[in-house]
Amino acid sequence: MQPEKAEEIQAWLKKASVDLRAAGVDLAADPPLVGDALFHCQQAVEKALKAFLTAHDAPFRKTHDLDELAIACGRINPELEREVNPALELTTFAWAFRYPGESEEPSREEAEAALALAKQVYEAVLARLPAQGHPKSVPS
């Protein structure tokens, strides 16, 4: 793998890792910042999938649509698409609860489940990447 490509993959994964951490911090706040945590969960999945696509030289457009990204990943690895499917519902959190007048936020428990899904997707992507594409540290 070319060093530049490995660096780009690592950059996507590092951003995804930061989003996972931010979601955890949001949920640990008192009171928890549920809407913000959900946003970061969606972002982590999006960036992890973009890392996978980058690793496979699969172009993607600027989008927050996890379904679109999962389908593109599925063309490369159908098993990954199946693992991502439960997290597709996170797509709406790219914009939901980000502006006034939105509907009521989900519960903390729902956000914790979303964070668990986001971590599963991140780990599923890592498991399918060559070692040189892995970030220096993995989120806890």
Give the CATH number of the domain where residue 62 resides. 1.20.120.330
Question: Which residue segment(s) compose the domain that 45 sits in?
Answer: 3-133
For 104-123, the pLDDT digits (tens) are: 778 999 999 999 999 999 99
Is residue 125 domain-resident?
yes
Q: What are phi and psi of 20, to 5 degrees?
A: -60, -45
Is residue 81 domain-resident?
yes
For 51-97, the pLDDT digits (tens) are: 999 999 999 999 999 999 999 999 999 999 999 999 999 988 888 77
- The number of CA neighbours under 13 Å toward the Cβ of 115 is 27
The model's pTM is 0.90
